[in-house]
Structure formats: C-alpha cells, structure tokens
Structure 1
Amino acid sequence: MQGMSERQYASHVGLSRGAIQKARMSGRLVLHADGSIDARASDARRASMTDPSKQRRDGAEAKLKPVPDAALSAVGDTLRESGIAPSPAGGGTTFLQAKTANEVLKAQERRLRLQRMKGEVIDRARATALVFRLAREERDAWANWPARIAALMAAELGLEAHAMQKVLETHVRAHLADLAEVATDFR
C-alpha cells in the first residue's frame, strides 16, 4: 500500500472514519492508484476545499484569513449598525466577522420582508407619488376656492364680488407659493 488507509488517515487528521469516507466521496481526498490515501496532498486539498467556519478548532481558535479590502467597509458598516464593534482600522476583518455581518443583513432583510407583508412598510416611490398627487389636489382646491367663495363673502361684507375675488386670489396664490417651497424627503 502506497499511502494510508481510511482508518489511518482518520487518526492522522483527528476525524472519524465516516467523515473521511464522506471526504473521499466528495472528492476532497487525493488517492494513489491502489486506492490508498495520499496524506500530504489530501491535507492540502481538504484545507482548500473546506469552509473555514465548518472546520474544527483544536483548543485555541485557529487564525482566520482576512476578508478582501473590497468588502471591509460594507462589513464594518453592518457590524456598527447592529452594535458590534468591527476590527480596528487596518486590522482586517475576519471570516467570522464577515459571516456575522452576513447573518445580520439576512435577519434585517427578513424583518423588512415581514413588515412589507404585514403592511407596515410601503414602497418609497409609491409614497412619493401619493404625496405628490395629494399635494396637487390640495393646491388645485385652494386655487379654485376664491372663485367659489368670493361672491358669498362680498355679499356678506357689502363689497363688489369681482374685487373680492381678485384680493382672495392674490393672497391664496402667495400662500400656495410659500407652501411650494416645502420639500419632502423620504430618505
């Protein structure tokens, strides 16, 4: 036999024989022509193919690889938003921190989806369109108000209806111009 048997390799890496059989079936082991296991090559292949979060730790926690710089700011922002302190600047983000940030984002997404299903959250574009439509209707109602009410007010006050309408329109339009300066921001 050129290499190790499943039992020998299991003892070598500290796993069960069943785990070694699963690794063999999934192609994570390198085999010699006689079917025995090439220990050195199999160790390297298993290390490269195994998710670090699923590896066993012997006593002290093994050193985790840093996450690429492109993802650091997003991970840091997510961790800060959830109340978890990210690594100090320049220290790199560990796989565990990135995985934690991913889980936090998934939980936030699920909560948002549930709130939408319950009707507690609405679409921003839809809300903006609704507010715009309501504001336009309100503006139009106020712009038409002097024409409807001027004759009644003029009769009560004993004034000319046309002059009353002109004064009311001037003041209503000035007030609407002031209101138009208010900007809504749904951020």
Structure 2
Amino acid sequence: MTTMTQVDYAKHAGVDRKTVGRWIKAGKYIVLDGNMIDVEASDKALATLRDSQDPRTKNAIKKNRSIGKETTIDTVKEIMIATGAEMSREEASRVKENYLALLTKLEYEKEDGLLVEMTVAEAVLFSAFREQRDAWMNWPSRVAPLMAADLDVPADRMTEVLIEHVHKHISGLGEPEFNTDET
C-alpha cells in the first residue's frame, strides 16, 4: 500500500489540494490510512466514480504497468466476482443505455405487429389444440361403423376398439416428455 500526503496526492490526481480536502470531508474518494492517503484505494475509487473522459483521471493512473492482456482480463473478472460486479459510472451508463435501446426496440416491434403477447399466443394455441382434440375424440364414433361394414365386424366392437386407441393416443400427446438435453 502506497501512501501520500494531501498535497502529493492532489498533484498525483491532477487536482488542487482543496479538492482533495473536500473529497475527504465528503467521504467520497479518499481512503485514509491515519493522516496519509492510500493511493491505490483512492485511485480505484476515482476510476470507479469519475468519468474517464475527464482529463484529470489520466493522471491518477499508475505508469509503467507491464501486465499482459490475459492477466488484466483475469484480474478484472476476479474483482467483479469478488465485489459483486461493481461497474464504473461509464460502464453502468453504457449498460443502462443498451437496456433502454432494447426496450425501445421491443416497444417498436410490438406496435409494428412483429411481437405477440404471450397470453394471446397461449390462448390461440390452447383453443386450436382443443379443437383438434375434440375432432379426434369424435372421429371413432363417426368412422367405426363405416370401417366395421367394410371389414364385416360388429360396429359396436369396432367403435370400442377405436375409441380406446384414440384416447390412449390423445392422452399421450397431452403429456409430452420434456428432455432438457434437447433444448
């Protein structure tokens, strides 16, 4: 842990000493270690809470870092996992703007008729499949006498057999097997 005085940290951060004093009073950015300022923790707080387009933030970045790209990515992932995925103000703003853009796109597609409400789709599918089921349930009593006449078998026996098999088939369709590996 590197520490500095208020004056030295103000030079390091590219601000005046009064600004550092205000930050300390407000309890915002500066992390104190006794009367000294913890440079790494304060720089991290500045990077998180300040806009990176602000030219003063470039002064708060340590120079001569020779960390590889993969090491940096791993470090960032570890920090995000450890701290609950805290984001910088910029990153949070970017995520928010992307989310709002997606919401606007969804609203447009809904108004344009490209999207359908889930409840409406469920109701349409339910009624369509109910009609299909009802048609199949009535089919044996309509067709069994005709089939029985063609095969020279009793019509009531043919109706019983067809009803049994159609009902078995319909109940099998009503209880589909769900396999999570297929999705």
Q: How many residues align?
A: 119
Matches within 5 A, 1:48-67: 57-61=54-58
RMSD: 3.3
Unmatched segments (≥5 aa) in structure 1: 1-12, 14-38, 64-84
Q: 1 CA distance for matches of 2:158 and 2:176?
A: 28
1:120 to 114, 122, 126: 114
Residues 158 and 137 of structure 1: CA distance in aligned 2, closer, same or farther (over 3 Å): same
Displacement of 1:87: 6.3
| Superimposed CA distance per residue, residues 23-77 of structure 1 (whole angstroms, 9 cap, x where no aligned partner) | xxxxxxxxxxxxxxxx99xx99xx99xxx888971353588xxxxxxxxxxxxxx
Residues 53 and 105 of structure 1: CA distance in aligned 2, closer, same or farther (over 3 Å): farther
Q: Are the aligned partners of 2:148 and 2:155 in contact in 1 as well (CA < 8 Å)?
A: yes
Q: 1 CA distance for matches of 2:92 and 2:79?
A: 11
With structure 2 as the length reference, what TM-score do the two structures score? 0.54
Structure 1 runs (4+) deviating above 3 angstroms are: 52-56, 59-63
Matches within 5 A, 1:1-20: none
Residues 62 and 146 of structure 1: CA distance in aligned 2, closer, same or farther (over 3 Å): farther
* Identity in percent: 29
> Where does residue 81 of structure 2 map in the other structure?
89
Unmatched segments (≥5 aa) in structure 2: 1-14, 29-48, 61-76, 179-183
1:178 aligns with 2:175: no
Residues 53 and 155 of structure 1: CA distance in aligned 2, closer, same or farther (over 3 Å): farther
